[in-house]
Structure 1
Amino acid sequence: MRPIFVGTGTVIATALALTACQAHTTGGTPTPQPPTHTLHPISVRQVNKSAPAPAGDYECQQPASAPAPGAGLVACDPSHSRAYTLGPEVAILHPTHAESHQNVAGYGVLVALDQPSQAAFSSYTSAHVGAQTAFVLDGAVIGAPEIRTPVDSSQLEITTAGETAQQADAIVASLGH
C-alpha cells in the first residue's frame, strides 16, 4: 500500500454529518442510546519509518498479532509489500460502521467513528500536522496517512491510490462488519 493522505483539504477524510440513532421511551421522549462497539477497534500509531519490505522479509511474513499499546511495533501492510516502524499507540478508534466506497482514486473504506474516537483523533491530528500516522488493525497497517490538516470528522475514508474493490472489501471484513 502506498501512504494515504487524510485531511479536510483532500477528498480522503470526509466530513459527513451522521444521524444519531435514537430509541424512544414509552413516554415518547427520545433517549440517546450509547454506542455499541461491534466492529474491531483501529489502533492509531505514529510512523517512525516506512520502506518497501524486502522480498521474504521475516517480520512481514509472520502472522499478525495484537501489539502492546505502549510498545513500538514493526508492522506491514496486508499485501506484505511495505514495512512500518511505529511508535506506541496514540489513540484507539472505535468504528460504528464501515463500508467500501468507490472514489476518484480507486476504492476506499468509509469508517464512521463514535464521539470519543472522533474527539481523540481530532486532538491527535491537531497536534501532529505533517506527521505520518498508521491505522493498525489486527497487527497490520491498513493505512498510513500524512496528516495535512486537523481532522474533526465523525467519518473518515481510508484509501490508497488505485486500491481495488476487493482490497477495500477485505478491510471492511477485517473490521468485522
Structure 2
Amino acid sequence: MSSTHFVLHDPEGRLDANLPLDRELHKALVKAALGWTAAPGLPPADLQQIALLLCGTARAVAADVRRVADLLPGDHAARRPAEIAAARERLRQEENLVLETAQWLCDNVMPIKTRSASSYAVKHLIEDATGIYMTNGVFIAAALIVGYPFRYDEPNVLFGMSRRDLSRLR
C-alpha cells in the first residue's frame, strides 16, 4: 500500500481558505517533535520539511481562527483572544524585519534605565532613518529581543533608550 503526503508551505497564505487540514497527522507530528530529547538523527532535508509542514499548518490554523472570529459578535468573549492570535501570526510573518530591526537597534541605540521612549515615536524615527515601514508590533518585538528596559503604556510600550542616540535620528 502506497501513500502520498504533501507539505503545506504557503507563506503568503493563499491556500488557507481552500485546503482542509489532516489534523490527526499534524497532531502526531507535533507530539513526536515535542518528544525529542536529543537530535532525532534525521537528514537536514527531512527536518526542513517537518519545519515547513508545521509552519504551514500553524498559518492555516491561524487563518481558521481569524475566519471564525470574524463571524463572532463584537462583544463576544472569544473575539479578543482570536484577534491576539491573528496578530501574533502576522508578527511571525515579519520575522526577518523583526530581526533586522533588532540588529539595527543594537548598532544605533544604547539602552538606559529610564523608560521614556515611546514605541510608536521611535518606530517612526527608525522608519525615517531606514526608509523601511514597520508596524508598532514589529518594533516592540525587536526592542524586547534586544533587551531594552520597558514598561507598558497601552497601547504602546515605553523603552529605556538613549535620548542622545534618538535625537541623532531626528
Task: Judging by fraction of residues, say which structure has more helix.
Answer: 2
TM over 0.5: no
What is the TM-score when the length of structure 1 is the normalising length? 0.22
Task: Judging by fraction of residues, say which structure has more strand.
Answer: 1
